[in-house]
Amino acid sequence: MTDKRKGPFESFRVEVDPERIEETLDGIRDRVRDSFAAGRYTKVRLSYKGRAILPDIPLAIFLATEGIAFWLVSPLPALLVNLGAKAVLDVEFIHEADELVQEGLALYLDGELDAAEAKYREALERRDDDVSALYNLGTLLRVTGRKDEALRVLRKAAMGPDGHPDVARAAEAVERLENPKKRL
């Protein structure tokens, strides 16, 4: 399942005006600072036209590589190479909650409902408004017969950001739970 959530690092494309390089660098620093304040980003995914080109890279290695490139090559050439690559590649930071949701989904599909529920709840501890975790937890609760709790969780998921696929699914699930006789 591809998550199209709008996060602080949906993409790292940067337009550079040669007269405003310092301002651009400050903006990049602010984005990095905001991402750490927003949660636990643990991996970086490099993709081209929506497809990952490498396995996910641990965030520490990605940042260390960036730092080493600036130190070894000098800032201006390293900046130009980085900006050139980032104009073509998308850089997506993966949140720890996203990984937990994927683990929960795998457990759910294996029939390990208690373990899956624990993973979804752990993801929600990391990011309490994670729409995918809410939707998957709500679905699991519905399947296990906890309708009231499922409705509460699915309603919260349905209030997520516009365009997120799990928001629409959660709204449909709420409708089905609230109006079971209106099924198609």
Q: Is 86 exposed, middle or buried (0-12, 13-18, 19+ CB in 10 A)?
A: middle
Instruction: State the average pLDDT for the chain.
Output: 75
In this structure, of 53-57, 128-132, 143-147, the range with the lowest mean pLDDT score is 53-57
pLDDT digits (tens, 9 = 90+) for 88-134: 667 666 767 778 888 898 999 999 999 999 999 988 888 888 888 99
Between 30 and 170, name the one with better pLDDT: 170
Cα 93 from Cα 175, distance rounded (Å): 33
Collapse the DSSP code of 53 into the 3-class scheme (helix H, G, I; strand E, B; otherwise coil) and give the result: coil
pLDDT digits (tens, 9 = 90+) for 68-87: 766 677 766 666 666 666 66
Examine the pLDDT at 37 and tell me if it is beyond 60: no
Between 74 and 142, name the one with better pLDDT: 142
Spell out where 3-95 has E strands: 41-48, 51-52, 57-58, 90-95
Structural domains of the chain in order of their starting residue, each with its CATH number:
18-95 (no CATH), 97-182 (1.25.40.10)
Mean pLDDT of the 29-38 span = 60
